[in-house]
Chains A and B, each alone.
Chain A
Amino acid sequence: LAKTTQPISMDSYEGQEVNITCSHNNIATNDYITWYQQFPSQGPRFIIQGYKTKVTNEVASLFIPADRKSSTLSLPRVSLSDTAVYYCLVGDMDTGFQKLVFGTGTRLLVSP
Chain B
Amino acid sequence: EAGVAQSPRYKIIEKRQSVAFWCNPISGHATLYWYQQILGQGPKLLIQFQNNGVVDDSQLPKDRFSAERLKGVDSTLKIQPAKLEDSAVYLCASSLRAGVYEQYFGPGTRLTVT
Contact = CB atoms under 8 A, between A and B. Distances in A.
B40 interface: yes
Given A97-B48, A99-B56, A43 B101 contact: no
Contacts of B85: none
B26 interface: no
Given A45-B105, A99-B48, A93 B99 contact: yes
Contacts of A43: 4, 43, 91, 93, 105-108
B66 interface: no
A102 B42 contact: yes
Contacts of B55: 97
Contacts, number: 61
Interface string A31-57: 010100000011111100100000000
Given A97-B48, A97-B50, A99-B56, A91 B101 contact: yes
24 contacts: A34-B101, A43-B4, A43-B93, A43-B105, A43-B106, A44-B91, A44-B105, A46-B103, A49-B101, A89-B101, A93-B101, A96-B99, A97-B48, A97-B98, A97-B99, A98-B101, A99-B33, A99-B48, A99-B56, A100-B45, A101-B45, A102-B44, A104-B40, A104-B41
10 nearest CB pairs, A to B = A43-B105, A102-B42, A46-B102, A34-B101, A96-B99, A43-B91, A97-B55, A97-B98, A102-B43, A99-B45
Given A43-B93, A100-B45, 19 more contacts: A32-B101, A41-B107, A41-B108, A42-B107, A42-B108, A43-B105, A43-B108, A44-B103, A46-B103, A46-B104, A49-B101, A87-B42, A93-B101, A98-B98, A98-B99, A102-B42, A102-B44, A104-B41, A105-B42
